[in-house]
Chain A
Amino acid sequence: MIEVHDVRKAFGAVQALGGVSFTARDGQITALLGPNGAGKTTLLRTLVGLLKRDHGSILIGGVDPEQDPMAVRRNIGFLTDQFGLYERLSTREYLNYFGELNGMDNASLKKRIGEVSELLGMDDIIERQTKGFSQGQRIKVALARTLLHRPRHLLLDEPSRGLDVMSTRALRTALTALREDGCCVIMATHVMQEVTHLCEDVIVIAKGHTVAQGSPEELCRRTGIANLEDAFVSLVGTEEGIA
């Protein structure tokens, strides 16, 4: 469970987060919607303790990332828009590196790499050096790294970008499996279809503020618009009307 209450963060004169509050429950996939520049990256970085908040409280599985960032990070799978690989390492070596950093031993790493590789359908690239991987292959490797240490919380920033149809389905299966395991998944995305299909809960943020939280149906009902995309646009554009 991830509980965020009135988190604010300013960089000099720029107020990146002006008051973000939400609760992402275990066993649910929570969509994080927001236009570019809404503060998603800042929010995710604050959640893993890379940035310190100015105000408010954050609890991830009951732990404050500012108090014990290591404990929080061990329990987080973090996938951002930066997913550079190490060109001279093979996929397996890459995964080994991050598995070891998360305190996994060799035997469980080997077993787990086999599992994730099967889950994401990446048997063909597991022994290859990652140089020259396509965007989709890179995302898959990064996703595998995210899932590797069985984190209870997942922070995924546009995990489906660049994936082909087969991989997108594989990703969906993986996310469903995580939900069934009782993980808490936050997924930033711009694809409304994905939200409708996968997510039980939606958080909408704009200009550093939480504008709304609720199920896709709830958001549609609240705005009186049947289409989620239109509802999102109306939420972001007319934040005065929302409590």
Chain B
Amino acid sequence: MKSKIRIVFLKELRETLREKRTLGFLAMMVLAYPVLIGFMMHQAIEKSTRTEREGINLTVIGGAQAPTLMAQLRERSVTIADANAAEMTEAAIGELLHSKKAAAVLRVSDDFIEDYQAMRPAQIELWFDSSAESGAQRRELEEVLQAYGNNIASARLLAHGVSPATLAPVTVQRYDTGTNASRSAMILGGVIGILFFPAFMLNMSSAVDSTAGERERRSLEVLMAQPAHSWELVGGKWLACSVLAIVGVTVELIVAHGILKWLPLEEIGMSWNLGWGELLLVCLATVPLSLLSGALYIALAMNAKTFKEAQTTLSIVMIVPLVPGFVVSFMELKTAQWMYLVPMLSNQTLVKELAKTGDIGALPFVLTFLCALIPALLVVAFASWRMKSEKYVLGV
């Protein structure tokens, strides 16, 4: 005789897999999710390394009037494109900046030489698009312009017999200790934070359908009157919805791992030091997380009278596991042993530490595995007890 738990499991699984919407969602989460993460990371890398590789494109109008400035700009490896003053109306400048062909446009006024020679403030216009992500380039240009102005001022003061040092009573030297690595650690932390989220998403519809849905369709009473213990019914439904999350998260982690390995993370000072063996261990340690979410969903959804009611409750519960991760990263807590005792946070911490150092010993894996498995079993036991209770039978 086949075990009852297996019969229920297979039936629920078959029923879930027949629904195209669920399958579509599953495929999307499993494949599109890591690809999306990868794309975001790729953009981040791209952005932070763009300036160093490409230099600055600058369009200049009337540049011939200020040859020294042009020379100084070229020294700072700015690529200068000369433009005709007549053609460059304000609209044309705006369009040029919008198309991102130039980081900025410099317009030397027609009266520049005259004003310069008369020692009146000579006008140079700097046109830029603050909504474009070229802030760093703009700052560099402004520095060149500032230095150019200071040079002229120094020369003029010197000609009057005044020391140029008068102009600079204070010198400010800037040191930026923020490295690419520390910035990208935050990005990677965010990515790791959402890496395990599918464990709480993929099993939701199946859990709701097999409990609240069954109640709503009025088939639960008959099922409960079958010669099967409530723990067999709950267990079968629990495993069926959990297995979707287990498979989903495992595939998602593998895809994400492939993408993170392939990305040139070292360019922004990040590391993803996981090997395939460690990844498989992580996948294994993550299995109980899916079991826990499945157990919670079943235990909660079985008390809802309708599909909709259950869905609303679960959407709220779904957010909860993300909270500890956010709190830890918000308060910038250092990794501690207790973090391996909080489901979800333990998985995040595990991957974070592995990505950093690569070798953390066996204990974190074991703790991560057990801290989700034990509550999962307790919740399933509770759900089974609840299904057997008279109060529940009366509500069905």
- Report which A residues bind B (CB closer than 8 A): 11, 45, 48, 50-52, 69-71, 73-74, 76, 78, 80, 82-89, 93, 97-98, 100-103, 105, 142, 145
Contacts and interface: CB of A to CB of B under 8 A. Distances in A.
A11 B271 CA distance: 63
Contacts of A101: 4, 7-8, 226-228
A76 B224 CA distance: 13
B156 interface: no
B153 interface: no
Nearest to A45: B393
Q: Which 4 A-B pairs rank lowest in CB-CB distance, beginning with the nearest? A: A84-B219, A84-B218, A84-B217, A73-B227
A48 B393 CA distance: 12
A11 B391 CA distance: 9
Interface of B: 1-2, 4, 7-8, 11, 14-15, 18-19, 214, 217-222, 224-229, 390, 393-394, 396
A51 B229 CA distance: 14
Nearest to B7: A100
B384 to A, nearest CB: 14
A82 B218 contact: yes
Contacts of B225: 45, 48, 50, 73, 76, 78, 80
B15 A50 contact: no
B390 A51 contact: yes
B227 A52 contact: no
A78 to B, nearest CB: 5
Nearest to B17: A88
B15 A88 contact: yes
A100 B393 contact: no
B19 A80 contact: no
A56 B217 CA distance: 34
A149 to B, nearest CB: 9
A51 B393 contact: yes
A125 B21 CA distance: 25
Contacts of B227: 69-71, 73-74, 101-103
A71 B228 CA distance: 10
A98 B226 contact: yes
A85 B14 contact: no
Given A93-B14, A100-B2, A101-B7, A84 B224 contact: no
18 contacts: A48-B225, A51-B394, A69-B227, A70-B227, A70-B229, A71-B227, A73-B225, A78-B225, A80-B221, A80-B225, A84-B220, A86-B11, A86-B15, A97-B7, A101-B4, A101-B7, A101-B227, A142-B222
By CB atoms of chain A within 10 A, which of B219, B222, B225 has the most?
B225
Contacts of B218: 82-84
A11 B227 CA distance: 25
Contacts of B19: 88
A161 to B, nearest CB: 14
Contacts of B229: 70
A69 B394 CA distance: 18
Given A51-B390, A51-B393, A97-B7, A102 B222 contact: no
